[in-house]
Chains A and B, each alone.
Chain A
Amino acid sequence: MSLRVEQSLSQLLHEAFISLRTLGKRSILALLGIVIGSSSVVALINIGHNAAVDAAMIFKDMGTDTLVAQFPPKGNSPATMRASLDLEAVRQAVPGIAHIGALTLFSGPMVFHGRTANANFVGTTPDIKDAMRIVVREGRFLSAFDANETYGVIGDQLAQALGVPGDPVKLGDRVRINDYLFLVIGILHSQPRAILMPVQANESLFIPAEGMRRIYASPQIGNVIIRATPGQDMERIARDASAALQRQLTDHTVDIQVPQQMIDGMTRQSRTFAYLLLALGAISLVGGGVGVMNVMLMNVSERRREIGIRMALGARQRDIRNLFLLEAVTLTAVGAACGAVIGMTAAWLYAWMSGWAFALAAAALPLGVGSTLLVGLFFGIYPAVSASKLQPVEALRDE
């Protein structure tokens, strides 16, 4: 007589199907607990991710990826700063620079149709648009072909100051600075105040750097703005850019401020978010897990008789253990699947109500579903093993 036999796969699948079919009647409440546990994990991770993305965007707009270089003279040297720098050489020398542009600043009155307003005149190069996150509302920004033209791009606030209702500043209008007329080729969107920037785009007229001499006899570069590609070490870029710029200068030093405090704040807040979510997720998972264990233990004590019958019919300890483990896993799998859908919906609703952009956190689904399954397995093992350890005669005895 052969004493070693395994249940065939088709029989195991049938058992799983039966337990799934009767799941509805027996363990709706258990399922509910697991669904809540799993959906809260999925929702929490995703909501947290969206909150972090939103917060990071706020910090990014404040300029954590932007460096501003200044050029104080060496000692008391009276030498004037150069009017142009080879920024392309700097870009070549320092990897990780996305955009770089120089600013030559001057301020004075500006006239349009007889109305005067004070403005910053910013002599610059086309790449400054992206370095300073300038958004054009109408027309276009300066291009490399505009170097010798008397073209200007006007800031939103300045345009409003110069225009009146019925006669606003439009594309193609000319504004006067001293004796020169500049053609307005672009009007900017209103920009949020940039704390770190030496000049506010809203109050400025951007003109080609080469044309600054028309307004001011000896233009000097005041600042260089560098914007890094995402995920760069800002300290390193500052160091390298400083060295690269210094090579072009004899009488001036390069002073680059890194927005370190802001970067620190950003890292701290995202770490806080991560810890908070970890704790919340863990708590709800343990809650869900205890729910699974409760249901499975109830299940075992409710079905002592069935265990006894199965043992009398020849089920071995491991068959009984597998039966209950299979049920626990089926239960958690169904719960995890429902939880994933509900959690995602909740996260989407939350994002929609808070006005955030909804972004799917890559970790949310695998982490939420995976950890639920793991918890189900972990908390399912004890009831399953305790069921298999019953003596057939004890299990069969009438309660």
Chain B
Amino acid sequence: MMTDTPAHPGLISLQGIGKRYQLAGQELSILNDVCLSIAKGDSCGILGASGSGKSTLLNILGLLDLPNCGRYHFAGHDIFSASPDQLAAIRNQQIGFVFQSFNLLPRLSALDNVALPLSYRGVSRHESVEQALRMLEQVGLAERAHHRPADLSGGQRQRVAIARALVGKPSVILADEPTGNLDSTTAQEIMDLLLALNREQQVTLIIVTHDPHIAERLDRKILVRNGVVQEAGCL
């Protein structure tokens, strides 16, 4: 159900991707001729200094932003020819996001936060709550299901966010500095959780980070420098 036969090798395939912004009348080039291919089950770190364009790359990978030029195929879908609704559906069914600042909805309980992606898929309320509860159990937070995010610690919030990213059974998890706001012990636990998911469930893991220790634990390291992408170890 999730994947058609991909027309291009790999789950994610970027060719000649460029991204420019108009800023105060000046053309600002963020990404130049990015070519990248990520296969199902990979774990990649995207590394780079602040302002190198790594967040922009993540936004493009996550279909939150559209590149100006190039070719991008995600699980067989041509991103340039997809409608906004189709992009939303791909995000909903194929991608799970984990953010540095957790990005939980403060008005909703942990359970409702986790159940939210399912509501955009036509799953009934009852069923989505059941699945969300199972997912919270998996990250070890079942007894906190009815707490608001404000009542949870940073590590707990990130675990809720991971449960939310996983509830839709995505093929890719995109994490933007997932441990950036956590202390080192908690960061370790979160990384263990993410890597376990990658290992056990073959979920493709893409993590933006500037922490070399985290990058060490991932299979591939992609360096972004001044809008140009290099793969460490390959070059």
- Say what secondary structure dominates the interface of chain A: helix
Distance of A396 Cα from B120 Cα, bound (Å): 18
A393 within 8 A of B: yes
* Residues of chain A within 8 A of B63, CB atoms compared: 392
A22 within 8 A of B: yes
Chain B, 205-234, contact with A by CB distance < 8 Å: what is the 0/1 string? 000000000000000000000000000000
B43 within 8 A of A: no
* A11 and B85 form a contact (CB under 8 A): no
* Smallest CB gap from B1: residue in A: A1
Distance of A3 Cα from B105 Cα, bound (Å): 25
* Smallest CB gap from A315: residue in B: B120
Contact of A309 among B62, B84, B103, B126 (CB under 8 A): B103
Distance of A8 Cα from B120 Cα, bound (Å): 8
* Smallest CB gap from A12: residue in B: B119
A170 within 8 A of B: no
* A314 and B89 form a contact (CB under 8 A): yes
* Residues of chain B within 8 A of A13, CB atoms compared: 125
* B124 and A18 form a contact (CB under 8 A): no
* Residues of chain A within 8 A of B105, CB atoms compared: 306, 309-310
**Chain B interface, number of residues (Cβ within 8 angstroms):** 41
* A392 and B64 form a contact (CB under 8 A): yes
* A311 and B88 form a contact (CB under 8 A): yes
Chain B, 83-96, contact with A by CB distance < 8 Å: what is the 0/1 string? 01110111111100
* A313 and B117 form a contact (CB under 8 A): yes
Known contacts A5-B120, A392-B64, A393-B59; is-contact A317 B103 (Cβ 8 Å)? no
* B89 and A313 form a contact (CB under 8 A): no
* A391 and B121 form a contact (CB under 8 A): no
* Smallest CB gap from A305: residue in B: B103
* B86 and A3 form a contact (CB under 8 A): yes
B122 within 8 A of A: yes
B157 within 8 A of A: no
* A residues 1-52 touching B (CB-CB < 8 Å): 1-8, 10-11, 13-15, 18, 22
A113 within 8 A of B: no
Distance of A318 Cα from B89 Cα, bound (Å): 12
Closest Cβ of chain B to A23, distance in Å, is 11
Chain B, 103-140, contact with A by CB distance < 8 Å: what is the 0/1 string? 11101100010001101111111101000000000000
B3 within 8 A of A: yes
B65 within 8 A of A: yes
B4 within 8 A of A: yes
Chain A, 312-341, contact with B by CB distance < 8 Å: what is the 0/1 string? 111111110000000000000000000000
B23 within 8 A of A: no
* Residues of chain B within 8 A of A314, CB atoms compared: 88-89, 91-93, 117, 120-121, 168
B235 within 8 A of A: no
Distance of A3 Cα from B90 Cα, bound (Å): 7
- 7 residue pairs, one from A and one from B, having the closest CB atoms: A314-B92, A10-B125, A11-B119, A5-B122, A393-B65, A3-B89, A392-B64
Query: Would you mind naming 16 contact pairs between A and B with Cβ atoms under 8 Å apart?
Result: A1-B3, A1-B75, A4-B89, A8-B125, A18-B112, A305-B103, A308-B64, A313-B91, A313-B92, A313-B117, A314-B117, A315-B92, A316-B84, A317-B88, A391-B65, A392-B65
A-contacting residues of B (Cβ < 8 Å)? 1-4, 59, 62-65, 75, 84-86, 88-94, 97, 101, 103-105, 107-108, 112, 116-117, 119-126, 128, 164, 168
20 more contacts with CB within 8 A, not counting A18-B108, A308-B64, are A1-B75, A1-B90, A3-B89, A6-B122, A8-B119, A8-B123, A10-B124, A22-B107, A305-B103, A306-B105, A308-B103, A310-B116, A310-B120, A311-B88, A312-B103, A313-B97, A314-B89, A317-B84, A391-B65, A396-B103
